[in-house]
Amino acid sequence: MTDFFSDLSFNKLAEQLTYQPNAPMLFSSGLFFFLFIGFLLIYMSLRKHLLARIIYVTLFSFYFYYKSSGFWFILLICTATSDFLIGRKMPLIVSQRIRKALVVLSLCVNLGTLAYFKYFNFLANMLAGLGNEIGHLFRIPSLEALVYHPMDIFLPVGISFFTFQSLSYIIDIYRRQIEPVHRWIDYIFYVSFFPQLVAGPIVRAKVFIPQIYKEITVTREQFGEGLFLIICGLLKKCVISDYISFNFVDRIFDAPLLYTGLENLLGVYGYALQIYCDFSGYSDMAIGIALLLGFRFPINFDSPYQSASITEFWRRWHISLSSWLKDYLYISLGGNRKGKTRTYINLMITMLLGGLWHGASLRFIIWGGIHGVSLAIHKYVRSHFHSFKQLGSQMTPFRRILGILFTFHLVCFGWIFFRATSMQAVGEILTQITTNFHPEVFLQFVTGYKVVVTLMIIGYIFHFMPKRAERSLQSIVTRSPLLIQALMLVITIFIVIQMKSAGVQPFIYFQF
């Protein structure tokens, strides 16, 4: 937050207010803090004026997205307008064939846009490689010499999130689960709502749209809960995630061979905590900010590393995405309605595409494949062995502890592919862990990385903290007088500023 505090001259202020490609607007920035305070004052004055409030929030959302991706907010408007028109048309159509054609049209617009920005270079390079192989096989010189030079394609921040959100709206209308909105501005408000615009959670239309028309009321409990979530999000992101990333995790993954297997393993544990704190920190802040505006979003993370099976993990991790993939991809493929073999295939397809959604790289596809195979195996084991049918609290304490340890390390194995810079780096990390471990350097590591180790211990302790303890902390914030709540926020901001030396980084999921 210090960037904004130290640059209050008019020229610097003008620079802060315009799009900076290397500095997207973050919830954790001082600029957003001051803009949001001003925004909130006007917003509350418009709480009884529905249309004015919708227009005002939509314009602020456009500005927020402009600060993240420049004038690519126009792309957001165009794709959202397309789905608004398709949604308005669909209830008027009787023919099921035409209704399906409209869904296909929406898929083409949304997925076509997504494919160009995220996957064009990946697919073109893959086709060029395929051409080389064919040319070599059939001795065709022109194909053997085929080389693809990647295009410099800018990836608009959060394009996957608002694309999936808009698609769910069209599919829900097609399934007759919701009615389309009548005003264009209402739909634009839904798609562009700034708290969850660039990194989720993916909020379904049937959850969000009815809240647009309700009178804005923020109870003391809602305010306290929102403040608690914002404080938690800031501490997770700016204190734990950024510090251990900048001072330890990035070093390991950038040059695995410079470190022992023990340090590589601890780097993997560090990344598991980093990505959780980074992404759940954003979700906490998004949900908290929405609460202050009178909107309630569903929970997006539920202590996922407490999961005792991979199935439970995907019910706790990035819940809005995993439920989206289940409802709109897995079920659309047939789910578990077409036999056991087809169920396993559907699981694999869903997770492979989920991996590809995260990035156009073989590493992400393998990551999705690891989770797909794991889910299929767990489903098979549960259906064939009665003692493994129990989930969650139904399991015995001993089996649950073993399940948590196994699931956590399985997930960490997947994170290696997710975070590594290349498949070569993946091999180097695994080689170091399996052949060059050197446990004797542990004490040296602890003394050399005291702050990192402390933050990792604190992060994991709070993650594995019982729910009742978390609710007690939230209750303390909620019941505190306004002055004490303000003091809590000021202390949090002070801590964030002190940790700024570690380098505040953009949210990991901005790239997805």
- Whether 78 is covered by a domain: the verdict is yes
Helix (H) or strand (E) holding 16: helix 10-17
- The one-letter code for the residue type at 171 is I
Residue position matching structure tokens 């609460």: 291
Residue range 460-469: mean pLDDT, rounded: 92
Q: 229 and 181 in one domain? A: no
pLDDT at 232: 94
Q: 54 and 184 in one domain? A: yes
Q: 200 and 239 in one domain? A: no
C-alpha span between 315 and 296 (Å, rounded): 20
- Whether 74 is covered by a domain: the verdict is yes
Mean pLDDT of the chain: 87
pLDDT at 387: 65
Active site residue 358: yes
C-alpha span between 211 and 41 (Å, rounded): 20
Contact 61, 104 (CB under 8 A): no
Spot the catalytic one: 136, 182, 358, 378: 358
Query: What end-to-end distance do the CA atoms of the chain give, in Å?
Result: 24
**What number of CA atoms fall less than 13 Å from residue 490's CA on the CB side?**
6
- Please report the DSSP string for 211-268 in residue order: HHTSPP---HHHHHHHHHHHHHHHIIIIIIIHHHIIIIIHHHHH-GGGS-HHHHHHHH
Domain of residue 51 covers 46-95+155-216
Percentage of residues in the chain having pLDDT higher than 90? 61
- Whether 322 is covered by a domain: the verdict is no
Residue range 439-447: mean pLDDT, rounded: 93
In this predicted structure, the answer to whether residue 2 has a pLDDT above a threshold of 60 is: no
In this predicted structure, the answer to whether residue 282 has a pLDDT above a threshold of 80 is: yes
**What number of CA atoms fall less than 13 Å from residue 311's CA on the CB side?**
14
Per-residue pLDDT reduced to its tens digit, 196-240:
887 778 899 999 999 999 988 888 999 999 999 999 999 999 899
Percentage of residues in the chain having pLDDT higher than 70? 89
C-alpha span between 485 and 444 (Å, rounded): 41
Q: 161 and 76 in one domain? A: yes
* Both structure tokens of 379: 């489903």
Per-residue pLDDT reduced to its tens digit, 93-149:
888 999 999 999 999 999 898 888 888 877 777 776 777 767 666 677 766 566 667
- Whether 120 is covered by a domain: the verdict is no
Which residue among 181, 216, 251 closes a domain? 216
Q: 496 and 454 in one domain? A: yes
| CB-based contacts of 222, cutoff 8 Å, min separation 6 | 291, 292, 294, 296
| CB-based contacts of 111, cutoff 8 Å, min separation 6 | 163, 167
C-alpha span between 21 and 71 (Å, rounded): 11
Helix (H) or strand (E) holding 53: helix 50-69
Domain count for the chain: 2
pLDDT at 509: 63
pLDDT at 429: 96
Cα–Cα–Cα angle for 31, 508, 315, rounded to 5 degrees: 120
Task: Provide the 10 A C-beta neighbour count for residue 211.
Answer: 16
How buried is residue 268: exposed, middle or buried, by Cβ count under 10 Å (0-12/13-18/19+)? buried
Q: 266 and 162 in one domain? A: no
Q: 275 and 179 in one domain? A: no
Q: 196 and 53 in one domain? A: yes
Contact 288, 218 (CB under 8 A): no
Residue position matching structure tokens 């399985």: 410
Per-residue pLDDT reduced to its tens digit, 35-90:
899 999 999 999 889 999 999 999 999 999 888 888 888 999 999 999 999 999 99
- Whether 28 is covered by a domain: the verdict is no
Largest CA distance in the chain: 79
Q: 200 and 78 in one domain? A: yes
CA proximity to 158, closest of 79, 238, 76, 81: 76
Task: Provide the 10 A C-beta neighbour count for residue 287.
Answer: 25
How buried is residue 198: exposed, middle or buried, by Cβ count under 10 Å (0-12/13-18/19+)? buried
- Whether 160 is covered by a domain: the verdict is yes
CA distances to 6, 7, 18, 237 from 2, rounded to whole Å, are 6, 9, 18, 16
Secondary structure E strands in 13-137: none
- Whether 269 is covered by a domain: the verdict is yes
- The one-letter code for the residue type at 480 is S
For residue 425, name the pLDDT band (cuts at 50, 70, 90): very high
Residue range 159-166: mean pLDDT, rounded: 88
- Whether 55 is covered by a domain: the verdict is yes
pLDDT at 5: 47
Per-residue pLDDT reduced to its tens digit, 301-336:
999 999 999 999 999 999 999 999 999 999 888 888
pLDDT at 134: 74
Which residue among 199, 216, 233 closes a domain? 216
Q: 212 and 222 in one domain? A: no
C-alpha span between 328 and 60 (Å, rounded): 30
C-alpha span between 423 and 343 (Å, rounded): 30
Which of 128-132, 191-195, 229-233, 248-252 comes out lowest in average pLDDT?
128-132
Sign of CA dihedral 26, 27, 30, 31: positive
| CB-based contacts of 450, cutoff 8 Å, min separation 6 | none
C-alpha span between 270 and 241 (Å, rounded): 9
| CB-based contacts of 46, cutoff 8 Å, min separation 6 | 52, 53, 56
pLDDT at 169: 94
Q: 282 and 229 in one domain? A: yes
Q: 210 and 78 in one domain? A: yes
Per-residue pLDDT reduced to its tens digit, 360-402:
788 999 999 999 999 999 998 888 776 666 666 677 888 889 9
pLDDT at 24: 72
